[in-house]
Amino acid sequence: MKLSSTLQITALGVALLISPAAYATTLTDALIQAYQTNPALRVRQSGLRATDETVRQAKGRIQPTVSTSVTTNHANNATANTQTFTNSASLTTAIPIYAGGTGLRRIEQSRYNVLAGRQSLKLSEQEVLLSAVTAYMDVRRDIRNVELALNSVKVLTEEVRAASERFEVGEVTRTDVSQAESRLAASESSLQTSRADLQRSINSYIAAVGSTPKNLRTPPATPSLPKSGDAAEAIAIAKHPTILQQQFIVKAAEKDVAIARGNKSPTASASVSLSNSSGSATSTGGSNSSIGLTFGQVIYQGGQLNSAERQALASLDQAKAELQLAGVQIRQNVQSAYATWFASKATIQSRKKQVSAAQIAFEGASEEAKLGARTTLDVLNSEQDLLQARSNLVAAIRNEYVNAYTVLSTMGLLTVDHLKLGISSYNPDKNYKKVNGAKKFGSKRLKIFDKIKKKTGN
């Protein structure tokens, strides 16, 4: 029986993906490309730059504001047949003096939000890199499965030919030939399924990495991991972006409570105003200047201020609970991922033994069938067992690799810097300093901000 043209096209497609002449892609290449081109990271980076602006805006609320206005009026009295021209200009400066400390707390709150946003960016980085690793290994696995399926079709085609020849000389019955033909049809169907799986993996690779996979090289050894799940858990609790992000959210919520309470305090501000006017009427000309102090105190506002404080306290309690929940989930994720990875390592050794035994069984059954000691069905079953054993080994290798990187992700270490990919990661400080001018305002508080960053390693 001849292979169909569809199967020949499949073989050609696999050959193109693994051809030595094609551009070779290493796992590092794929990770670098995913990091540099994945739109999910650009979304997060843009969002973080927008969050940087909130610090600048909070600073502006406690700085003087200057406004100016120019007015020109023309009045025409038809009864008296007179016209009046009036021109005026004014310059006003408002200087906030005191607002219950809310201004500085808003700045601090905005900075905590920036730090939380940076952790959110790290989470996205981990998701993108893990998706790239998974897609890379999925393509390699499915290419191998297509190869195995093609080989199975080839072997079963030969089995059908041999069974037909033996039937013609009376060594086997028509049932043996039909069994071989049935198994060949099933193998061709499995090949079509493997082709579809490969195409899905290629599509996932393109989405994660940004290009079509070509000649994916064997990946290097899996990254070094802690010797126990507890050790991995300790690292995750200290460094995972989800926990650090939630810690900063709690700090921002504490500032929100302080702001809500500060809104009940008296306020004080100063103003300086200069104005000049001129016109056709002598009474409208002249210059004026004024300096004023304004004190304010909210006496009653329908319970809004007390409600805002209670709301802020409730949000703070929620943030603390979410921090605790994040710790529980991270611990669970790390232990689960570590156990899965550890089991997958042992599985590889078992799968290798299974392949070796299945190979011996298939070769023995084939030889014994020639001597009449085995039936055609025995040979077909042995071939199926060998194919399944090889497919299981391919899946086990893929799972062990992806599981290792999953452990890194649950620990919070699946980053460009930790993997040492040889490229510069996105530097959020560059935009922050550009926007907020570290040397122009609030240098003391920026030093505090830097201390927070050093403590958290961000």
Structure tokens at 401: 């690799």
pLDDT at 454: 59
DSSP symbol at 240: -
**pLDDT tens, 248-270?**
999 999 999 999 999 999 989 88
Residue 136 shares a structural domain with residue 160? yes
Higher pLDDT, 323 or 79: 323
Residue 336 shares a structural domain with residue 418? yes
Residue 367 shares a structural domain with residue 380? yes
Nearest alpha-carbon partner for 277 in 266, 265, 267, 286 = 286
Residue 332 shares a structural domain with residue 403? yes
Residue 192 shares a structural domain with residue 210? yes
Residue 15 shares a structural domain with residue 85? no
Residue 80 shares a structural domain with residue 46? no
CATH number at residue 137: 1.20.1600.10
Q: In the predicted model, what is the mean pLDDT of the chain?
A: 85
Over its C-alpha atoms, the chain yields an Rg (Å, rounded) of 36
Residue 90 shares a structural domain with residue 177? no
pTM: 0.83
Q: Give mean pLDDT, residues 287-307.
A: 88
Residue 309 shares a structural domain with residue 286? no
Q: Measured between alpha carbons, how far is residue 123 from residues 136, 174, 252, 408 in Å? A: 20, 62, 19, 12
Distance of alpha carbon 334 from the chain centroid: 18
Confidence of residue 299 (pLDDT cuts 50, 70, 90): confident
Whether residue 316 contacts residue 253, with contact meaning beta carbons closer than 8 Å, is answered with yes
Stated as kind and residue range, the H or E segment containing 74 is: strand 65-77
DSSP symbol at 265: S
**pLDDT tens, 180-207?**
888 889 889 989 999 999 999 999 999 9
pLDDT at 133: 96
Confidence of residue 416 (pLDDT cuts 50, 70, 90): very high
Residue 322 shares a structural domain with residue 448? yes
Look up the domain containing 293 and give its range. Answer: 68-98+271-297
Residue 117 shares a structural domain with residue 259? yes
Q: Measured between alpha carbons, how far is residue 143 from residues 10, 66, 183, 405 in Å? A: 10, 68, 22, 21
Residue 175 shares a structural domain with residue 286? no
**pLDDT tens, 325-377?**
999 999 999 999 999 999 998 899 888 898 889 888 888 888 887 777 777 77
| Count of domains observed in the chain | 2
